[in-house]
Amino acid sequence: MLADVYYPAVEQSGYGNVRKTWTLDRSVAGSFTPAGSAIKEEIAPNIDISIDSLLTSRIDEDIRISLTSDKNAITNILVTNIRDKDNNKFYIETAGPRVGLPTLFEVATHQPHMSPFGGVEYYKVILRRSQNQGVDI
């Protein structure tokens, strides 16, 4: 499976308003499956979430680091357009501002899984459906 990874360019106006302009960095290969009820997030919003959609994934590369070697906090990463090798998209919005477009996911957890020989074998990433599906990407 493949997924697209986006990072923001952050600008702040003279009044303090923050604007993020999201840019596609790359597509990453991984496995993306619905998370069971035992999965816990590292970052949990303090709002009532009406749609609880978590995906657990294994990704071979560290998505916190962009192709230009910029380091990003997990709160500044969007993952979307999750698809198979035939480009079939799995998570599509059926209502709201992104109707018909791929669902936007935020990174809730990012943990390396170490191999028996001491290196990183893969990264365990838990994705949470973003409550703001109106983001322009």
Containing H/E element for 17?
Answer: none
Instruction: Place 50 in a pLDDT band, splitting at 50, 70 and 90.
Output: very low
106 CB-contact burial (10 Å; exposed 0-12 / middle 13-18 / buried 19+): buried
Domain boundaries, the chain: 2-129
pLDDT at 44: 59
2-129 CATH fold? Thrombin, subunit H (2.40.10)
Whether 82 has a pLDDT exceeding 90, the answer reads: yes
Decide: helix, strand or coil at residue 30.
strand
Total-model pTM = 0.81
* Per-residue model confidence as pLDDT tens digits over 105-127: 999 999 999 989 889 999 999 99
